[in-house]
Amino acid sequence: MFVTKAMTRDVITINKNTNILQAKEIMAENTIRHLPVVDSENRIVGILTDRDIRSAMPSILLDDYEYKKAGEKLTELLAKDIMSTSPITVSPACTIQDAILLYQKTRHGAFPVVEADGKLIGIVSVQDMLDETTKVMGIGEPGTLLCIIVKERVGELKKIVDIITEENMSIGSVLVSQCWAEGKRAVFPYLFSKNVVPVKRKLKEAGFTLIEPSQWYLDNPLEHG
Amino acid sequence: MYDERFLLHDTGPYHPEHPERLKAILKGIQDAGLLSDLTVFPAVSPEMKWIEAVHTKEYIQRFKEKCLAGEPILDDPDNKMCKDTYNTALLAVGGVIDAVRRVMENELDNAFCAVRPPGHHAEADKAMGFCYFGNVAIAAKYLLQKWHLSQILIIDFDAHHGNGTQHIFESDPSVIYYSIHQHPSFAYPGTGREFEVGTGKGTGSVKNSTSLPGNSDDDWKHLVERDLLPIFDKFNPEFILVSTGFDAHIDDQMSNVKISTEWYTWMIKLIMELASKHTDGKLVSVLEGGYVLKRLPELAKNHVEVLLNHSCHRRKKCLSQKQ
């Protein structure tokens, strides 16, 4: 899935001459933490974050006189004085997976989405990435999670999906765990149903080992190996 | 409250929520010789305004039309239908409301409603998890609007979270919803997390105790003592409605917690003691889940026995006061 599907399209932006107290207010009003800075052509020239603003605020350790003076200075401070001028941006062809990995690498909470000509078309935040992941996993929908232990060989997943399909059940998602006891994997189908007893029985009859997903989370595979 | 017409809701083969459940429950109560001490009464049709107090008119209409047109499911394959499903669901609501009325009018001390279909998953506009109308939620609305009560407590110990009941009342501070259930990451319907505490004016009116698969009696006793008892420090209910589900039982495959028959007796005893203290014993218990035919007779018998004992206590108390 591409970031364009998850991103916010109506981006709230500022220009490089926006006063930072005003920028702070915009962030508070809209409960956002990233403000792309654009030129008159909507091309990105920088990004201002709540952290940039916090760092610019006078320290509470200053005495009254110094604090007041620093506060006055703030009224003259503009976005261009404290913004990052080389923000990490992504292209519309960037996938959600890319964005998640990029977040893991950079820890930046949001990435402006920018066309090849530098024009800003959206912003994708960690929140957006989580929302999409939640949808993909199906966890916002009512259902039941199973955990099936399979041998690492071709065709096992097909057998599982076939049995679920025969039972006329709707699959929300199927996650496959890569890290499991040697030669085995854990498959987690999330089924949109309360009534999973018959499908569990059929899977067992077909020779699959079913364990409680919670047992897998507790990382105790060998007991069931 | 029991009605043979509850058996007409036919979910077909291989469905856990089937008519035999009620037969098993009735047999347990009958074989223990309790029937002669009980007032057994049938369901009556409800006034539609009570159902409309919880469910959207569009949903009620859709349910009725689809059912009478012979459609086999409503909203989701979990919710199987036959031509009698709609009318049976109406009767379940009517029976529960009538039980509440009888308790409010002091005709009965308390009541157990052995109903089908169950109700706590039903949303305002959607059938879910074998449930079509929110029996308990509708009874709570009836108490609020007809009897002008302002403090109602719903206790739900079905193994699954009662998403419908919670959502209907989560912004209403006059109804407290307490539920103990298997953790939503491991059980249907995936709601009822501990951080769900109500919304807006109702913040604080929802309390969820979540239990991991494999948990047993001690864990469930601990959760109830930790999470349910403190509710009474701040809230003095005038009426208690209980969503009674027996599916956390160790033998029930519909959940993976391991609760014993004894826990269920412990739980309803505790609830009755709280009811005696706070609501003068006014309580109506309504069946939700519970699917093991060989366990249901004893579970139901124990449940009703506790209600009956408390009923006797209340009568003795009244008698001694009169003397």
Contact B188 A214 (CB under 8 A): no
Q: Hey, which residues does B211 pair with through a beta bridge? A: B182
Contacts of A219 (CB under 8 A, 6+ apart): none
Q: Where do the domains of chain B lie, and which CATH numbers do they carry?
A: 4-322 (3.40.800.20)
* Residue B60, SS3 per DSSP: helix
A-chain CB neighbours of B76 within 8 Å are 192-193
Catalytic residue positions of B, numbered: 121
Counting as low any pLDDT under 50, the low residues of chain B are none
pLDDT in tens, B138-152: 999 999 999 999 999
The Cα-based distances of A121 to A43, A44, A91 in angstroms read: 9, 10, 9
Question: H helices within A50-196, ranges in order?
Answer: 50-56, 64-74, 79-82, 96-106, 126-137, 156-166
| Chain A interface, Cβ < 8 Å to B | 139-145, 168-170, 192-198, 200, 212-215
Contact A198 B14 (CB under 8 A): yes
Check: complex ipTM more than 0.90: no
B-chain CB neighbours of A194 within 8 Å are 78, 121, 128-130, 160, 188-189, 254
Please give the radius of gyration of chain B, using alpha carbons only, rounded to the nearest integer: 18
Domain boundaries, chain A: 3-135, 144-224
Of A192, A197, A213, the CB nearest to B254: A197
**Mean pLDDT of successive 10-residue segments in chain A (225 residues)?**
93 97 96 96 96 88 85 90 95 91 93 95 95 84 92 90 93 82 87 94 95 78 46
CB of B132 less than 8 A from some CB of A: no
Are the C-beta atoms of residues B286 and B122 closer than 8 Å to each other? no
B-chain CB neighbours of A140 within 8 Å are 190
Contact A192 B76 (CB under 8 A): yes
B76 token code pair: 């989701």
- A169: nearest CA partner in chain B: B77
Are the C-beta atoms of residues A129 and A103 closer than 8 Å to each other? yes
| Residue A65 confidence (pLDDT) | 86
B21 token code pair: 């459940």
Model confidence pTM above 0.90: no
Please report, as a single letter, which amino acid is at residue A150. V
Residue of A146, A167, A195 to mutate when probing chain B, most B C-beta within 10 A: A195
| Residue A154 confidence (pLDDT) | 87
**How many A/B residue pairs have CB atoms within 8 Å?**
62
| Residue B151 confidence (pLDDT) | 98
| Residue B317 confidence (pLDDT) | 62
| Residue A26 confidence (pLDDT) | 97
The Cα A224–Cα B175 span in angstroms is: 45
pLDDT in tens, B34-62: 999 999 999 999 999 999 999 999 999 99
Contact A212 B76 (CB under 8 A): no
| Residue B164 confidence (pLDDT) | 98
Of B183, B188, B214, the CB nearest to A142: B188
Contact B129 A200 (CB under 8 A): no
Of A142, A195, A196, the CB nearest to B190: A142
Nearest CA-CA partner of A163 in A191, A136, A140, A142: A191
Domain A144-224 has CATH 3.30.70.260: yes
The shortest C-alpha distance from B14 to chain A (Å) reads 7
Which fold does the domain A3-135 belong to in CATH? Answer: CBS-domain (3.10.580)
| Residue B316 confidence (pLDDT) | 64
Peptide bond between residue A189 and the one before it cis (omega within 30 degrees of 0) = no
A-chain CB neighbours of B14 within 8 Å are 198
Contact B185 A145 (CB under 8 A): yes
Of B183, B186, B189, the CB nearest to A194: B189
